[in-house]
Amino acid sequence: MGDHCLSQEFTALKKRYLERLSTLHYSNGSIKNSLCVFAYLEKFIEKMGLADYSIEIGRAFLDEMAGIGNPNGKIMRATVRRLSELTETGDFDLREKYVSHECPACLKKQLEDYVEHMEQQGLRRSSVSKHSRNIVKILQEFHVRGIQDVSAIRPADIYVAFKESGNKQGFVSSMRSFLRYVFKKGLHSSDLSLIVPSIHKPKPVPSVYTKEETDKMLSNIDRSTVLGKREYAVILLALRLGMRGGDILKLELGNIDFNAKAIEFIQEKTLVPQRLELLPDIEEALVSYFADRPNPNNSSYVFLTTMTPYGPLLSYGVGRAVAKHIAAADIDAGTRKRGSHALRMTLASELASENVPYDVIRKILGHEDPEVIKHYVKLDIDMLRKCALEIPRPIGLLAEKFSEVGGEAQ
């Protein structure tokens, strides 16, 4: 497989593409990513029995890659989009031009009602915005097919819109949510969310660390400096209380009640109030940090930078602290994640191993959705082992096959 099976025009197109990236001073890593996409694309073109690239081939290629849940989808979409532009115009833009999507007037009221429904359900502003953008694009596709009211949506319309979507993962998530809403509100006679195509992606087991590893990480932190004291307290909040990195960054002085031994805050992700116990080791770490913490008059945030002008930590502050001390403690993380979420999952794992009910774990970590319990079942390996069933002894035709190959039916 490779260029020798493809046309000279394709080889020249590929060369122009890579030269353009080089001219724009793209890094070797980015060019390597593009070469990886080309390797997939070339195999696809040959599998189709063709020798050249076309815009239609690019679309079909992306559809197939989306269908198998390829993790490099974003890079693939960008490469194919640029390659199609290069084919059509002889050049390409680095970034896709922004296209304003306007909801068809006849469907606008139904979209506005859905947006209001999402807001009433407590979805984050970013989630509401994301679903709204996705649904507008879908409604445009429906309108092209003659739909002027959601009650007229047919299964065929959903499949066509799915095929035309450049963001199939976003399509599936937003379309299912919208169609469930449409059905529950009585706007459609059928629950069409059940027939939205699925995209199966491998779901890895959440990253967790052993107690020995986390103890080693904590003991390795130099707590004689204000930086060390700050990072020690930050890591304890993630590890002992399961706080999200964003909530730790936004923690304010008024959220900590040393008299009531509690930390109270509004979760950034869910906007749901959370009250957590101020554990003794966390209290000790915070008191130690406050003794050396910068004290600017204009900041109420707990965790501040250690250099002037003092201000709240940046968005990557927590994750970087965790990764830094995992590496400093010489912990072999392998493929495990190295941020605050891994420490959150570590807490969930420890609680599950202590037979704490999953619903209690869910509440400790501040989740509202009961379905999230399924996520924690993956962490309880010992409990899963107890559910394993003994393989039955082969009988009948299967037992005969074992005998034919010299095996023993056990």
Domain containing 282 — which CATH number? Answer: 1.10.443.10
Quick one: 359 and 237 in the same domain?
yes
Banded model confidence at residue 384, pLDDT cuts 50, 70, 90: low
Lowest mean pLDDT among 137-151, 243-257, 340-354, 395-409: 395-409
In a domain, 83, yes or no: yes
Quick one: 239 and 131 in the same domain?
no
> CA 369, CA 373: separation in Å to the nearest integer?
8
Residue 382, pLDDT score: 57
Quick one: 253 and 341 in the same domain?
yes
Q: How many CB atoms lie within 10 A of CB 364?
A: 17
Quick one: 121 and 78 in the same domain?
no
Q: Which pTM was predicted?
A: 0.52
Residue 109, pLDDT score: 93
In a domain, 369, yes or no: yes
Bridge partners (DSSP) of residue 275 are: 264
Quick one: 191 and 277 in the same domain?
no
In a domain, 397, yes or no: no
Q: What is the largest CA-CA distance in the chain?
A: 83
Please state whether the peptide bond connecting residue 392 to the residue before it is cis, i.e. omega within 30 degrees of 0: no
In a domain, 161, yes or no: yes
Quick one: 62 and 114 in the same domain?
no
Average pLDDT over every residue of 49-67 = 80
Quick one: 79 and 114 in the same domain?
no
From 134, 166, 195, the end of a domain falls on 195
Sheet holding 256-257, edge to edge: 256-257, 262-266, 273-277
Quick one: 347 and 297 in the same domain?
yes
Quick one: 147 and 224 in the same domain?
no
Average pLDDT over every residue of 30-44 = 87
Quick one: 286 and 375 in the same domain?
yes
Quick one: 189 and 217 in the same domain?
no
Residue 219, pLDDT score: 95
In a domain, 202, yes or no: no
Residue 279: pLDDT over 90: yes
Total tally of structural domains belonging to the chain? 3
Which residues span the domain enclosing 217?
211-382
